[in-house]
C-alpha cells in the first residue's frame, strides 16, 4: 500500500477472502490490522490511485455492516482526518477519482453522502488545483447522487472567490464550466457561482484569464437562459460596482478588452451584449467618475468599435442616463461625461450628437429638462461642455436649441427662468457660433 503496489493488495485481499478463515478472522486481518497502519489513508495521501481502487474493491468483498464500511472507507488518518481531504489538497487527481468511483459502487446513497463532505471541493479549488477539482466534480456527477446532494458537494463559494481574486484561470474555468453544465437548475447554478467579492477582485486585480474563463463558462452553458446569464454577469460588486467598472478604474486595459471581446463573441442578443458591456460605463456615469469614462472611451476607440453604440446607455424606459443627470441636477456627471468626449476627433464627435441631445422618450432634450426643473448649475455645465466639443456650429446650435416636448426653445426657457447668470451663459455660448446659427436660436 505504501508503495502503491495495487496488484499486491488485490492478491492479498483475494487470498484472505478465498481462504477458509471465519468472517471474523477475515475482518481482523483485512480491516482491523490494516486499519492500525492507516493504509487507505496513506494511499490517498501519497496519491496511489490504483491502490486506492484495489483496496476499496477488496473491502466490498467482505461482509461488513454499514457502520463498518463507513469507518473503513472514511480512510481517516491517525489525526482523524478523512483521507480524501489530503488527496484533494495535495492535487492527487487519480486517487480522488479512484476513491469516489470506488465508493460510488456502494448500493447505499446515504452511505456515499456520509463519506463525501461538502467542504472537500474547496480544499483543492482554493489552491487552483484544477486537476483534482476536475476529478472530484466529474466523479461526483457520475456517482448517481441526486441533484440536491450534488449541489451540496459543489458548494465552494469562498474557494471560488479566492481563485478569482488570485487569478487561477484554469481552476475557475473547470469549476464554473462544470457547475454550468451539471444539470442543476438555473437558480442553483447562480447560487453557486455568483461570488460578488471574488469577481470584483478579479476585475480590480486585472486577472484577464480568470475573468475570461468565468464569462465564457457562463455564456456557453446550455442550462442558463439569456436572462440568467445577464443576472450572473451583472451581479453588482461589494459597493454596487457593475460590469467593467473596477477593471477600468484600476487601469487594466487588456482585462477590459478581453471582457468586451468575450461578450461580443457570445450568442447573447445584440441588446443583451450592449447592456452587459455598457454596465461599467453606466455605473461610472452614475457616480461621475471621469477617469473611468475616459478609459472606457479610449478602449472603444482603440479597438475600432462603434463609439455611438457603446456610449448609448439608457434606463429600461428608454431615457438616456445623460438626460436623467441633466433633469436631476447631477452636474458632476455631466461635466465628467462631456470632458471625457474631448479626446474624440470631429468626425467621431459628430456621430454622437444625437446622444448628446439626451432626449427623453417623449422627445424633450436634456438641457430643456434641466432648465425646466431649475437645475441651472447643471445646465451651465452642459452648455460650457458642449461649447468645447469638436463639433460643428450647426451641431452645437442643434443642442442649444433644447426644445421641450411641446416645442418650447432653449432661449424661451432661459428667459423664463429669470436667472441672470444662466441667461448670460446661454447667450455667450450662442454668440460664439456663426451668424447663420445665431439667427436660428435668437
307-359 confidence digits (pLDDT tens): 999 999 998 888 899 999 999 999 999 999 999 999 999 999 999 999 999 98
Segments in 288-330 forming alpha helices (H): 290-302, 307-311, 321-327
Segments in 143-252 forming alpha helices (H): 147-154, 157-166, 169-180, 186-193, 196-205, 208-219, 226-233, 245-249
**Model pLDDT, residue 347:** 94
- Tell me, what DSSP letter sits at residue 151? H
Lowest mean pLDDT among 54-68, 249-263, 285-299: 54-68
**What is the arithmetic mean of pLDDT over 22-32?**
68
What CA–CA distance (Å, rounded) separates 260 from 91? 33
What's the number of CA atoms in the CB half-sphere (13 Å) around residue 391? 24
In the chain, the largest separation of any two C-alpha atoms, in whole Å, equals: 114
Q: Do residues 74 and 115 touch, judged by C-beta distance below 8 A?
A: yes
Give, in degrees to the nearest 5, the angle at Cα 37 between 34 and 42: 105
The string of DSSP letters for 27-64 reads: HIIIIIHHHTTTHHHHHHHHT-HHHHHHHHHHHHTS--
Q: How confident is the model at residue 373 (pLDDT cuts 50, 70, 90)?
A: very high
- Pick from 154, 156, 151: which is nearest to 136 by CA? 154
What CA–CA distance (Å, rounded) separates 131 from 168? 12
- Tell me, what DSSP letter sits at residue 234? T
Q: Do residues 316 and 274 touch, judged by C-beta distance below 8 A?
A: no
Share of the chain above pLDDT 90, in %: 76
The yes-or-no verdict on residue 25 having pLDDT over 90 is no
Strand pairing partners for 314? 320
What CA–CA distance (Å, rounded) separates 242 from 356? 23
**What is the arithmetic mean of pLDDT over 14-27?**
69
**Model pLDDT, residue 77:** 86
Q: How confident is the model at residue 9 (pLDDT cuts 50, 70, 90)?
A: low
**Model pLDDT, residue 331:** 95
What's the number of CA atoms in the CB half-sphere (13 Å) around residue 247? 28
* Cell 477582485 -> residue: 201
What residue ranges define each of the domains in the chain, with the CATH number in brackets? Answer: 1-149 (1.25.40), 337-442 (no CATH)
What CA–CA distance (Å, rounded) separates 258 from 198? 18
> What Rg do the C-alpha atoms of the chain give, in angstroms?
32
**131-177 residue pLDDT tens:** 999 999 999 999 999 999 999 999 999 999 999 999 999 999 999 99
The yes-or-no verdict on residue 1 having pLDDT over 60 is no
Distance of CA 139 to the CA centre of its chain: 26
Q: How confident is the model at residue 63 (pLDDT cuts 50, 70, 90)?
A: confident
Q: How confident is the model at residue 361 (pLDDT cuts 50, 70, 90)?
A: confident
Q: Do residues 99 and 46 touch, judged by C-beta distance below 8 A?
A: no
Amino acid at each position: 500500500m505504501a508503495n502503491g503496489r495495487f496488484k499486491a493488495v488485490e492478491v492479498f485481499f483475494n487470498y484472505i477472502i478465498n481462504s477458509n478463515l471465519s468472517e471474523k478472522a477475515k475482518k481482523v486481518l483485512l480491516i482491523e490490522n490494516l486499519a492500525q497502519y492507516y493504509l487507505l489513508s496513506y494511499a490517498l495521501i501519497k496519491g496511489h490511485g490504483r491502490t486506492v481502487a484495489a483496496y476499496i474493491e477488496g473491502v466490498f468483498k467482505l461482509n461488513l455492516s454499514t457502520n463498518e464500511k463507513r469507518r473503513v472507507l472514511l480512510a481517516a488518518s491517525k489525526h482523524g482526518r478523512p483521507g480524501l481531504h489530503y488527496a484533494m489538497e495535495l492535487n492527487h487527481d487519480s486517487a480522488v477519482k479512484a476513491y469516489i468511483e470506488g465508493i460510488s459502487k456502494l448500493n447505499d446513497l446515504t452511505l456515499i453522502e456520509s463519506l463525501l463532505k461538502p467542504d472537500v471541493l474547496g480544499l483543492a479549488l482554493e489552491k487552483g488545483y484544477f486537476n483534482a477539482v476536475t476529478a472530484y466534480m466529474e466523479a461526483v456527477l457520475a456517482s448517481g447522487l441526486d441533484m440536491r446532494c450534488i449541489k451540496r458537494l459543489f458548494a465552494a463559494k469562498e474557494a471560488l472567490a479566492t481563485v478569482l481574486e488570485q487569478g487561477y484561470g484554469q481552476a475557475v474555468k473547470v469549476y464554473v464550466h462544470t457547475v454550468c453544465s451539471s444539470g442543476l437548475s438555473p437558480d442553483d447554478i447562480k447560487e453557486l457561482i455568483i461570488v460578488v467579492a471574488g469577481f470584483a477582485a478579479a476585475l480590480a486585480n486585472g486577472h484577464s484569464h480568470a475573468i475570461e474563463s468565468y464569462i465564457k463558462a457562463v455564456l456557453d452553458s446550455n442550462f442558463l437562459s439569456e436572462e440568467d446569464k445577464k443576472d450572473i454577469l451583472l451581479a453588482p460588486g461589494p459597493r454596487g460596482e457593475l460590469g467593467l467598472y473596477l477593471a477600468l478604474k484600476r487601469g487594466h486595459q487588456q482585462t477590459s478588452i478581453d471582457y468586451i471581446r468575450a461578450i461580443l463573441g457570445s450568442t447573447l442578443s445584440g441588446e443583451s451584449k450592449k447592456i452587459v458591456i455598457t454596465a461599467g460605463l453606466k455605473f461610472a456615469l452614475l457616480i461621475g467618475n471621469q477617469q473611468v469614462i475616459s478609459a472606457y472611451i479610449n478602449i472603444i476607440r482603440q479597438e475600432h468599435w462603434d463609439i455611438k453604440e457603446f456610449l448609448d446607455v439608457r434606463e429600461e424606459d428608454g431615457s438616456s442616463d445623460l438626460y436623467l443627470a441633466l433633469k436631476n441636477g447631477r452636474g458632476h456627471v455631466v461635466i465628467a461625461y462631456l470632458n471625457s468626449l474631448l479626446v474624440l476627433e470631429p468626425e467621431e464627435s459628430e456621430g454622437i450628437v444625437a446622444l448628446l441631445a439626451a432626449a427623453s422618450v417623449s422627445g424633450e432634450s436634456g438641457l430643456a429638462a434641466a432648465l425646466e426643473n431649475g437645475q441651472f448649475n447643471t445646465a451651465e455645465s452642459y452648455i460650457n461642455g458642449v461649447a468645447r466639443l469638436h463639433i460643428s456650429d450647426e451641431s452645437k446650435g442643434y443642442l442649444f436649441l433644447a426644445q421641450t416636448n411641446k416645442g418650447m426653445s432653449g432661449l424661451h426657457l432661459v428667459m423664463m427662468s429669470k436667472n441672470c447668470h444662466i441667461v448670460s451663459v446661454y447667450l455667450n455660448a450662442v454668440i460664439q457660433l456663426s451668424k447663420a446659427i445665431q439667427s436660428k436660436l435668437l
